[in-house]
Amino acid sequence: MYTTRIDLPSQVRDKVVPLLQASLADSVDLFTQIKQAHWNVKGPSFIALHELFDSIAEIVEEHGDLLAERIAALGRRADGTARVAAAQSGLPEYPLDAAEGRQHVVAVADRLAAFGKSVRAGIDRATALGDADTADIFTEISRAIDKHLWFVEAHLQSER
């Protein structure tokens, strides 16, 4: 633990940081999974999905940075290596055999939805612990993930 003048009691930080760390692990994992889709998507919608996945990966990477910086600001160490993320992530494993665009769209949508659900739970937990700033970070991330999930899911929806 590092000294900080942030006025959240140590007991609150001790409970909030694990929430942030779990989301950091998920965000690092999500970033790499979306890059997997970006690199390997095939089919008629290749360029649209290739570019969409890359733009979402960039946003997710920014979320990871935001989470890690909050951990550091609270006087703790942010652990965001690939190995830590792999060990701690709550996201399902990416289907490495996915090739066709729709397969990647479904896989990315499932993981965005899982991450969004976890982040929304973080909003409630941080609020209950009295850390409005962390709750706000989770809210910002949730809003962005929902938006990008909508972009991805639109590839699965059509009028019938």
> Which residue segments constitute the domains of the chain, with CATH numbers given?
10-89+98-153 (1.20.1260.10)
Residue whose structure tokens are 């499932």: 110
pLDDT at 160 over 80: no
Per cent of the chain over pLDDT 90 is: 94
- Rounded to the nearest 10 degrees, what angle do helices 132-153 and 46-73 cross at? 170
Of 121, 152, 156, nearest in space to 26 by CA: 121
* Number of C-beta neighbours around residue 92 at 10 A: 12
Q: Which residues contact 30 (CB under 8 A, 6 or more apart)?
A: 60, 91, 111, 112, 115
* Number of C-beta neighbours around residue 155 at 10 A: 18
pLDDT (mean) for 82-90: 97
> Which pLDDT band, with edges at 50, 70 and 90, does 26 fall under?
very high
pLDDT (mean) for 52-59: 98
pLDDT (mean) for 65-78: 97
> Which pLDDT band, with edges at 50, 70 and 90, does 4 fall under?
confident
Q: What is the tens place of the pLDDT at every residue in 129-149?
A: 999 999 999 999 999 999 999
Q: What is the mean pLDDT of the chain?
A: 96
Rounded CA-CA distance 106/150 in Å is: 12
pLDDT at 116 over 90: yes
- Positive or negative torsion for Cα 34, 36, 38, 43: negative
Query: Do 100 and 108 contact (CB within 8 A), yes or no?
Result: no
Give me the pLDDT at residue 49, please. 98
DSSP label at residue 3 = -
> Which pLDDT band, with edges at 50, 70 and 90, does 159 fall under?
low
